[in-house]
Chain A
Amino acid sequence: MKLAARTYILAVLIFLYLPIAVLIAMGFNESPLYQLPFSFSSHWYVELMSNRKLLNASWNSVLIAAITAVIATVLGTLAAVALSRRQFFGKEALRLLLLPPIAIPWLITGTAMLVFFYWTGIGRGFHAILIGHVALAIPYVVLVVGTGLTTIRADLEEAAMSLGAPPVKAFFRVTLPLLAPSIFGAALFAFAVSLDQFVVSYFLATPGSSTLPVEIYSAIRKGFTPEINAVCTILLLGSVSIFLLFTLFAKPGASRDRS
């Protein structure tokens, strides 16, 4: 039984990681047609450095992801704090409406944005992709920060106020430092959501503003070289680092008082 279980887990892991391992390995294989035998070469990484299109798309991706992370984190954190700590008109409606976008297929969101942006004159391009990504990332931030807030007792802020701190100061001196790990985790989450995003970016991209996933997709359609593997490996490295940072910092209650 134990052996069967182990074999099963091993099979799952192979299924998950073998294609990725092959992808990474082939980026270091000299053959442009992915032919064996394997012969180590960093040729494709060197090639990549002179591929303006892929490099430009990578830069766009990272830039959009970074700006998305900042904007979505600020807006999402404000929404999460308001939802958990303040009373205002329409609060329940906002709470109900903030999360379903996570469940709406990106294809629909992307189509809707394309039509809406065209109609309102926002159009397509870098700025349109950015707006789209921020909108996609906000619900995740609200979710992560909102969960973090539930572990911070509301009476801490009351205690700060009783000691003479106005509400804004109480928030910045007490709640925000305790919430920092969640906010950082949420920012990484927003960054990853944006970096991985394909459908919305594809719909909203213009020739100069396309992101890496969009560029990889069009490269694959045209017939491609292991440069793609090289860029995917780099992207993978970035994503995995983010994931590791996220698990390190956003572990619920990692550095929080839960008594």
Chain B
Amino acid sequence: MTAVDVTAIAKSYGKVEVLSDITTHFPEGSFTSLLGPSGSGKTTLLRIIAGFVIPDTGRVTIGERDVTRVPVWARNIGMVFQSYALFPHMSVADNVAFGLAQRGVKGEPARREVQRALDMVHLGGFGTRKPKQLSGGQQQRVALARAIVTRPSVLLLDEPLSALDRRLRQEMQVELLRIQRESGLTTIFVTHDQEEALTLSDKVAILDRGRIVQIGAPTEVYERPRTRFAAEFLGDTNFFTGTVADGRVSLRNGMRIATASPLPANGAPVTLAVRPEKITVATRDAAPEDGLTNRVEGAIIASLYSGTALTYEVDAAGQRFKIFAQNRDARPLARGDEVTLSWSPDHTVPIEDAP
């Protein structure tokens, strides 16, 4: 159990800058996701922490130890690869025992540790099998057991769930979280799946083109995205661009939208973001709900029914809205219905970068 720090990390391949000036802290025992699209540098950052890639500049520390120049095999890490990378010529037990053998743990003590690790991933009876004889989910758990049995300083996961189908992936998320909590390992998890990142993590770091654009608790990065990229990458968002006028933002179509967040001076351009599920959609005659002081009138232009939920598209004076609604009403709203949209200024977040 150790904290991990990266300081001023930069890495280029030729003229392509993959990471620039990354500084961040991974607290002891925390579960942090590195989330971003492909090419955002998240895997390179993980491989720098692992020691497979040497950064051009910057420092990596695991606990008190500066490991920037320490090779992979001397860093005491545990890593799970996207393809699991199980040794096909060894039994499951030998796979798990491999790291112990490198540390001089052999014989009966090694056998006990292997059994403990396999029990932890519910594969106690599979020690003598070959990896090929296991399903994808089971192979994944062997890879996890192999990575944690050595009690590494940090557990690194490189999109370990992306090869599994949806249901198995959800099961494994629960397992992974349980094992991480039980072992107390500082965990760094690379993924491009935003839901997975929000579900599993204590902290989510969103990467875009080699930079961490935002890092924080899942609720924080989701509810208060700081940039347009962060807002769009973590789910859907409605954006409004206008200028500040008397504590509100006035849009070009005349709408005036309130936000609970501080705004810049009058006349400054500003972009606001509102999540589609924060907006209440009601017929014109319905009584207004308390607190939802942003109100606009519009008409449904598209309605998508998906059982538990509905997705509406609404046009209000030329401004398009996307809205997610629970399927609660007697009759779903239909194209052409006249509606009132309302939402709270608390859920209206100014984003920092230019529109």
Nearest chain A CB to B135's CB is how many angstroms away? Answer: 11
A residues less than 8 Å from B156 (CB atoms): 162
Determine if B146 and A155 form an interchain contact, defined as CB atoms under 8 angstroms apart: no
Determine if A155 and B85 form an interchain contact, defined as CB atoms under 8 angstroms apart: yes
Classify the interface of chain B: helix, strand, loop or mixed: mixed
Given A158-B52, A178-B89, A257-B131: A166 in contact with B73 (beta carbons within 8 A): yes
Determine if A164 and B87 form an interchain contact, defined as CB atoms under 8 angstroms apart: no
Nearest chain B CB to A179's CB is how many angstroms away? Answer: 10
**Whole-angstrom CA separation of A166 from B52 in the bound complex:** 12
B residues less than 8 Å from A163 (CB atoms): 73, 78, 98-99, 102, 146-147, 150
B residues less than 8 Å from A158 (CB atoms): 52, 72, 79, 81, 85
Determine if B85 and A153 form an interchain contact, defined as CB atoms under 8 angstroms apart: yes
**Whole-angstrom CA separation of A158 from B79 in the bound complex:** 9
For chain B, the bracket of interface size reads 20 to 34
**Whole-angstrom CA separation of A167 from B71 in the bound complex:** 10
Determine if A164 and B89 form an interchain contact, defined as CB atoms under 8 angstroms apart: no
Determine if B87 and A162 form an interchain contact, defined as CB atoms under 8 angstroms apart: no
Determine if A155 and B81 form an interchain contact, defined as CB atoms under 8 angstroms apart: yes
Please, how many residues of chain A have a CB less than 8 angstroms from a CB on the other chain?
Answer: 22
Determine if B72 and A162 form an interchain contact, defined as CB atoms under 8 angstroms apart: yes
A residues less than 8 Å from B99 (CB atoms): 163-164
Q: Which residue of A lies closest to B96 (CB)?
A: A163
Q: Mark A156-179, 1 if CB is under 8 A from B, else 0.
A: 101111111111011001100110
Query: Is A120's beta carbon under 8 Å from chain B?
Result: no
A residues less than 8 Å from B88 (CB atoms): 178, 256-257
Given A164-B102, A257-B132: A159 in contact with B73 (beta carbons within 8 A): no
**Whole-angstrom CA separation of A178 from B131 in the bound complex:** 14
A residues less than 8 Å from B50 (CB atoms): 162
**Whole-angstrom CA separation of A164 from B71 in the bound complex:** 10
Question: CB within 8 A of A164: which of B83, B103, B131, B132?
Answer: B103
Query: Is A259's beta carbon under 8 Å from chain B?
Result: yes
**Whole-angstrom CA separation of A250 from B98 in the bound complex:** 27
Q: Which residue of A lies closest to B139 (CB)?
A: A259
Determine if A161 and B83 form an interchain contact, defined as CB atoms under 8 angstroms apart: no
Nearest chain B CB to A244's CB is how many angstroms away? Answer: 24
Query: Is B293's beta carbon under 8 Å from chain A?
Result: no
Nearest chain B CB to A181's CB is how many angstroms away? Answer: 11
Determine if A159 and B102 form an interchain contact, defined as CB atoms under 8 angstroms apart: no
Query: Is B138's beta carbon under 8 Å from chain A?
Result: no
Given A153-B83, A155-B83, A257-B132: A162 in contact with B89 (beta carbons within 8 A): no
**Chain B residues in the interface with A (C-beta under 8 A):** 50, 52, 71-74, 76-79, 81, 83, 85-89, 98-99, 102-103, 131-132, 146-147, 150, 156
* Interface CB pairs A-B, < 8 A, 7: A158-B52, A158-B85, A161-B52, A161-B73, A162-B50, A169-B102, A257-B132
